[in-house]
Every structure is written in structure tokens, then in C-alpha cells.
A and B are shown apart, each in its own frame.
Chain A
Amino acid sequence: MKINNLTICNFGSFENAVSFDFSLTDKNRNVILIGGRNGSGKTTIFTAIKLALYGHLAFGYKSITQSYLDQIRINNNSLSKKNLISYIELSVELEEERHVATYMIRREWKFKRKQLGELTTILRDSVELSNDEVLYFENYIKNVMPPQLFDLFFFDGELIGNFFMEGNVSKKIKESLNILKNYDTFDIIQTHLQRNIIKLVNTDSSAEESLYLSLCHQEATLKQEIEQLTQLIQSINNQIDTLSEQRSSVDNRFKNAGGLKALELSELKASLIQEERFREEKHDWLRSFANDTLPFLMVSPLIAKLKEQLDKEEYFKQYKVITEILNPSLFASILRDELSMDLNLCTISESLAHKLANGVMRRIRPPFAFNINDFTPIHDLSPDTLKNIRQLIDNIEHHSVEEIRSCKEAIRCSLENTTRLRQRLEVVEGNDEISLLAAEVQSLDEQIHQLKEHRLELTNTLQTKQVESDALKPELKRCIMSLTKVRKEKSMVSLCLRTQMIINELIPELLAPEVTLFRESFWYIFNQLMSKNTLADEVYVSKDFDVTLYRNELKSINEIRNILSKLGLDGFETVLGSRCIAVLCDKLKLQTPTELENRLKSCLSTDNLLIPIKVDINSLSKGEQQIYIMALYWSLIKVANKSIPFVIDTPYARIDKKHRQHITTQFFPTLSHQVIILSTDSEINEEYYALLKPFIAKEYTLCYSEKQKNTVTEERYFFEVTA
């Protein structure tokens, strides 16, 4: 990444738009030097770059909040302007896959309804990014220059010491390297693994195990019961088959012997009863016939006479009625009325009427009575009775004595049937062998019946058990699933632990080349910067980036023994360094520090040994410490191997003249492809300016105008003016 341009407008001490061109044309000139006395606006530039790149993150806010906006320092002079726009615009070059893209990041602040608001615009090769692209870009920037490492990119001479001296330095270096090299992913994995382990390790599978076992036991018991029942039913089926065979054989013998089955016997008896009932009905009919019909059939000639007599009587009755009505006087009156005769006809009409009446009487006279006075009605029935008698006679005529014959015939047949049935019955009941066979058949039938009942009972039980077993299956399945889950979780723990182990083994291997590079880089720059060559003879960097300086010294074994006896083995290691013990062991051909301790106790040699003695950093002067820190910083950046611009403020805080020279010529030109140095005129003074001049790409001087109360920039460094 390269910063090309920075424009600050109405921000901090800058009024109106002020641009700084940071573009680099000559790859040997990597330094942008910005000079300024105290309060001239150096820190504003420092802040502006930070803000442009990271926005609210630069101040440690997760989003644009009021507290964040409160920290935005709008230029005081500008506040009186009508259309106030305050912004920072940073133009950077980013190496993308096959292309170098120019990004223009603009953060703009405006007052709206008495509230300050921020508007961010990002252009990629003059094309504005969409919201998604902005997010992507911001993430990319965070990846290239992680916000956790602000203090590294924005080197503040006053504060950088704290980063490397306070707390666990090796841890900080390791973490920084991890982040810069993207090894921090492993840390995230480790954290997640640890969290999972803690979460999962609490799961207890014993409840599921015991439930599963009990369900399995239940299932096995049921299965066994079902098997037993099935076998039992099968054996009963066999028994039934055997008995059925026996029964059919006995039955055959029984039939061959002329025996009757109970069913046939009962049918026979039923037939007998039916025959008797039939005969009874027939006898009833016969009695009824004898009572109601037979007497009339017996006197059928008399009935015929009666019918004839009744006809005669009826005819006679009608004759009587008609002749009574159609008498001579009726005819006379009719003639008189109808003919309206004169007197001559009157006499004739009377005799005519008599003749007519006599004629009628003659014509309708009953044929059975020559003399009408000879006929005397015997019965003289009323019309109703006559009607009934006639109806009865009709009924009688429909009957015949032959009906008795057929009835008697039916009775005779029935009696024959009965005799036949009785004979069969007598044969069965009277035969002992047949009775025994019948009893056997009956006993077999009973046995079969009992077995069938037992089988039914067992089948019902079997069905119940099968239903139970079926119900158990899904339950077991559920249990297995939950048990599997629990077991999986358990195996997850071991998996997590193994993964942790692998990562723990992997990281040192990944870091091993980095450690070597770090040590080499450190040793190189340390020697370049440090004027005192006797300060350290070697540097030892452990796999955890624990940096220890060692100075080789000649020490007699006695001396060493005295120190060891005073400090003990642990104290010895703390004061003289682990490398010292390792070298001692190596020289005396020993394996462990304990062996060393024992050997030294018994050894009374005055031999001198050249051994590395740990140099205590805290015993160094502040300036030397600063050099040490800068060497650490430089080597860290070299190992990270990222082309990132570095902004350095107050670089020479505690450095003496001699060392400043080294830093100016060795440190800045080699630190990065772009180093922006913010310096006062006393720090990079004329002398160092001259030394630095060959590496300077662009230079500016900030000058605070008391009159206008703003910063004025000039494109040159202090001393060119004076020069």
C-alpha cells in the first residue's frame, strides 16, 4: 500500500483545503519528511491518516457514535463559515491481484440541525463504491493494516517504548506477527475449540446410556417372550393337527361302524320331532275338518236339495212381490191415466187391466209350482241369512272328502318316516362300540376346542407383545439418536483436544522460520544502530519470541558455582539466561541442568569458561533501550514483510546524537517503502536533515500562523529556508 495524497480541509489547525503529495517516484527515496514545531499540526496529519483509513475504529469506536463525533476537531476558524464542509481525503494505491488500484477515501463532516454528521465516500479508480464494496474495502484495509496494531503503523517515539517494554514483550511480538502473518486464525480456532471443549465436556451420557440399556433389555425380553409364544402357538398348532388327524380317523371308523355324529344325531332327533309335529298338525286339521266341514260334506245331497229349495223360495218371493204390485187396479189406473179415454173405453180398460195383470202373473209364474197355492216356503230366510247360507254352501262346494284322503296319506308317510328315523336311532344308541367311538370323537373335539381356546389366548398375548415391541422401536431409535449425539459430543471433545494439540504443534513449526528471520533481522539492525559493540555478542530468540541479548564472558567454574549456590538453579537461569545453562551443559557434556548443578557442587576446578551471560534490558540506558526497541520494531516489520506505509512521530525522543545518526541513515531508509516522518526542527536538525536528504521524496513544513490561527504549509523543510 502506498499513500499518494492527503488533503485536509477545515480539520484541526488546518483551514480550507491543504494537500500533501506523498507520491513516490524514486524507489530509493522512501521518506516523506514533514517538519513542524510544537502545535503546528503534525499530530493532526497523524490523526488524519488514521481517521481516513479506519474511520471510527481509529478512535476505538465500533460505529459512528456521538462520542466519536465529539472527538472530530473541526477547525475553529471555519465554524463561522456559512457552508462549512470539513473533510479528510486520502488517496492510496493498493496492489490488487493483477492491478494497482487507486482508492480515494473521503470522510466528510457537516453540521445538520446542530449535529455533526459524517459521510464517507470511497472511489476506486474514480468510481464510487457501493455499500457492499465499501464494507469489502474496509475489511481489506483491516486485513492489511490490522487496527490492533495501530501503534506499530503509527510510531510515536514517546509511546512505542510502552508497546515493547511493558507487559509480556514476547507475547506482544508473537501476537503482532500472528496478526500480520494471518496466523491469528489459529488463535480464533483455538478459542472456539476451547469454548466447545468447555461446553461439551459437561455433557453426561450416563442417563442416555442407562436408558438405552434398559430399553435394549426390554426389547430383548419382549423378543424372547414373542419367540416363546410363537413356539408355543406352533406346538399347539401341531397338537391340534395331530388331534384333528386322530379325530378324523376315529370319525371314519365311527362312520364305517354306522355311527352318527352328534350333529347328525341331533338332526335325526329334530327330524323326528318335526315329523311328530307335522302329524299333530295334520290331526288338528282333520279334527277341525271333521268339526266344520265334514258334516256338510256328508249331507251333500240334502244341501243340494236345500239350495234348490232356497232358489225356489227366492223366486216365489219375487213372484209374490211383482204380482202384488202389478195387480189389475194398477194396470187400470195406468190405462186411465195414459189413454185419457172417453167413456166408451172405460169399460174396455177395466177388462184390459185384468187381462194384463193375469198375463203378467202367468208369464212370471214359478216353473216349479203348477198351482201357486201348493207351494209353501220351508225356510223363509231373511235376506242377510240367505246371503250367509248361500256363501256357506258355495264354500262347502269347494271342499271335497278327498282332502281327508291326502291328509291321511301325509300322516301315513310321516309315520313311515318316523319309523325309519327311530330305527336309525335305535341302531346308534344300542351299539356299544359306536358309543365308545362317539365318546372318543367327543373327547377329541373337546381337547381340540380347549387347545384352540388356549391358542386364541396366546395369540392375543402375542399380539399385545408385538404391539409393545413395535411401540418400543421408535423409542429405542430416539434413544439411540440422542445417545449418538451425546457420544458424538464426547468424541467432539477429544477431536477438539486433538485439533488443539495439532495446532499447538503446528504453530511453532510455522513460526520457526519466522523466529530465525526475526533473530537475523534483529541482530543485523541492532548492530547497525548500536554504537557500542560490546553491549551484546549474540541475540537469542526463543520459539515464543522471547528476545534475550547475551554477552560472552570468561567465568571460572568457581565463580559459576558461587553464583549457582547463591541463586539456586532457577535464579541462575533468570539472571544468567537459559542459553547460559545450555552452553554450560554442552561444554561440560551434561544432559540436564540438575546434572550441571550436581557436577558444579563437586567440581573444584579453576578453569575459565567462555559462556553467554544474559544482558538485562532494564539495566541499559533509556537511549539504548530505545535502540533495542527500534531494532525489535524494525525486525518485526521485516518479518511481517508487508508493504505498508509507516508514520513516525517524534522519532528521536531519547536518542543521543551518535545513535540518531545511525537511525537516520540505517533505520528510516530501510524500514519500509514509504515512511512518513513527522519531526520538529530539533529532532531532525540540519545535520540529520543532510544525512536524510538522499532518501527524502517529499518534504513539508507546517507553520502555525498566530495571526490567522491556522496552519500554513510550505513544500520544503525548515533548513532549506535558512540555507
Chain B
Amino acid sequence: MIFRLKTSKKTMDCFTEIGQKTGLKPFALAKLAIAIALNSNFDSLSFRTDTNGLDLNRQTITGEYDAMYKCLIEQHCGNHLCEDDYFPTYVKAYIDHGSILLHNQFRYGNDFILNLAGLEGDSI
């Protein structure tokens, strides 16, 4: 069983940039990246990425919600995933993909969090 993964260089850069502005840590950003990826249509299997980024721990990223994230990813994929596939392969794909989407949200939104929550553009 593998419990660590290395993000792409791009992911690392995104996270660093966003983290400096919002004060959010990479593990929180990783979760948000997974969520934003789950909202998008992307083929995780064909997604290509590198491993020159952050070294993240499974426990740090998903923690107590690990089973939930697995379920969500399975649901998104539409098929069952074995443990080894789920982590690190799928999770890394979702993070690396999501980080790009997250970076976009960050760059083009006024308030990052509100934007993510879908509340951007309200009276705030």
C-alpha cells in the first residue's frame, strides 16, 4: 500500500501561489482541487502529469474522509476502484487536474472561497 504521492510541478506552483494569498495549506487546497475536479468532466486515465511537485501524505490529504473521497471518485468514474488504483493514481490525477482549475478560479475570481462556494457575484 502506498500512502504518499508527489504532485506535479504545476500543482505545487499553484498551491504555493494560492496558499500565499489565502493562507490555505496544500492539504486543504488538495481537497478543494479534488472537489473542483469531481465537478468537471475529465478522463483521469488519460490525464498525464509529472511528479516534480509537493510530497503529500494520504493521511494529510484525505484523513478521516478517505472513504468518502474514494466513494466520490468511484461515483465520478462510474466504476469500483481497487485501493492501489485509488491512491495514489486517481487521487494524484484529480489533484493535479483540479489544481489547474483551482488556479483558474483563483486568478479570475475576487474572493477565492466565495467563488469556490458558488457565491461569487453576490452582494459581498
Minimal Cβ-Cβ distance residue in B for A310: B71
Tell me whether chain B's interface is mostly helix, strand or loop, or mixed: helix
1/0 per position for B10-44, CB-CB distance to A under 8 A? Answer: 00000000000001110110011011101100000
Are A294 and B113 CB-contacts (below 8 A) given A299-B39, A392-B68, A404-B119? yes
Q: Judging by beta carbons under 8 Å apart, are B80 and A377 in contact?
A: yes
Q: Judging by beta carbons under 8 Å apart, are B39 and A298 in contact?
A: yes
Q: Judging by beta carbons under 8 Å apart, are B80 and A405 in contact?
A: no
Residues of chain B lying within 8 A (CB to CB) of residue A381: 67, 71
Residues of chain A lying within 8 A (CB to CB) of residue B118: 298, 401
Minimal Cβ-Cβ distance residue in B for A396: B68
Tell me whether B85 is interfacial, beta carbon within 8 Å.
no
Tell me whether A291 is interfacial, beta carbon within 8 Å.
yes
Say how far B114's CB is from chain A's closest CB, in angstroms. Answer: 6
Say how far A680's CB is from chain B's closest CB, in angstroms. Answer: 158
Tell me whether A657 is interfacial, beta carbon within 8 Å.
no
Are A405 and B124 CB-contacts (below 8 A) given A294-B113, A380-B80? yes
Are A379 and B80 CB-contacts (below 8 A) given A283-B23, A291-B27, A295-B32? yes
Q: Judging by beta carbons under 8 Å apart, are A389 and B68 in contact?
A: yes
1/0 per position for A277-321, CB-CB distance to B under 8 A? Answer: 000000100110011101111110011011001100000000000
Minimal Cβ-Cβ distance residue in A for B74: A378
How many B residues touch the partner, as a band? 20 to 34
Q: Judging by beta carbons under 8 Å apart, are B76 and A385 in contact?
A: no
Tell me whether A409 is interfacial, beta carbon within 8 Å.
yes
Residues of chain A lying within 8 A (CB to CB) of residue B32: 290, 294-295, 298
Q: Judging by beta carbons under 8 Å apart, are B72 and A291 in contact?
A: no
| Bound CA–CA A377/B118 (angstroms) | 32
Q: Scan residues 84-101 of chain B and give those whose CB is less than 8 A from a CB of chain A.
A: none
Say how far A692's CB is from chain B's closest CB, in angstroms. Answer: 160
Which of the residues B23, B68, B119 comes within 8 Å of A296, measured between beta carbons? B68
Minimal Cβ-Cβ distance residue in A for B62: A295
Q: Judging by beta carbons under 8 Å apart, are A295 and B119 in contact?
A: no
Residues of chain A lying within 8 A (CB to CB) of residue B80: 376-380
1/0 per position for A384-425, CB-CB distance to B under 8 A? Answer: 010011001000000001001100110010000000000000
Residues of chain A lying within 8 A (CB to CB) of residue B75: 302, 305-306, 309, 378-379
Are A401 and B117 CB-contacts (below 8 A) given A291-B28, A302-B76? yes
Q: Judging by beta carbons under 8 Å apart, are B67 and A302 in contact?
A: no
Number of A-B contacts (CB under 8 A): 93
| Bound CA–CA A296/B111 (angstroms) | 19
Which of the residues A302, A309, A405 comes within 8 Å of B119, measured between beta carbons? A405
Q: Judging by beta carbons under 8 Å apart, are B67 and A389 in contact?
A: yes
Q: Judging by beta carbons under 8 Å apart, are A290 and B24 in contact?
A: yes
Q: Judging by beta carbons under 8 Å apart, are B113 and A298 in contact?
A: no
| Bound CA–CA A405/B68 (angstroms) | 26
| Bound CA–CA A298/B124 (angstroms) | 19
**B28, B71, B119: most-surrounded residue (chain A CB, <10 A):** B71
| Bound CA–CA A303/B24 (angstroms) | 24
Say how far A400's CB is from chain B's closest CB, in angstroms. Answer: 9
| Bound CA–CA A721/B121 (angstroms) | 180
Say how far A380's CB is from chain B's closest CB, in angstroms. Answer: 6
Say how far A308's CB is from chain B's closest CB, in angstroms. Answer: 9
Which of the residues A295, A305, A378, A389 comes within 8 Å of B34, measured between beta carbons? A295
Residues of chain B lying within 8 A (CB to CB) of residue A379: 71, 74-75, 80
1/0 per position for A128-149, CB-CB distance to B under 8 A? Answer: 0000000000000000000000
Residues of chain A lying within 8 A (CB to CB) of residue B108: none
Q: Judging by beta carbons under 8 Å apart, are B65 and A392 in contact?
A: yes
Interface CB pairs A-B, < 8 A, 18: A290-B28, A290-B116, A291-B24, A291-B28, A292-B65, A294-B113, A294-B117, A296-B65, A302-B38, A305-B75, A306-B71, A377-B80, A378-B75, A378-B80, A389-B68, A389-B71, A401-B119, A404-B119
**13 more A-B contacts (CB under 8 A) besides A299-B39, A389-B71?**
A283-B23, A286-B113, A291-B28, A295-B34, A296-B35, A297-B117, A298-B38, A299-B35, A306-B75, A379-B71, A401-B119, A405-B124, A408-B111
- Which 4 pairs from chain A and chain B are nearest by CB? A295-B35, A291-B28, A401-B117, A298-B35
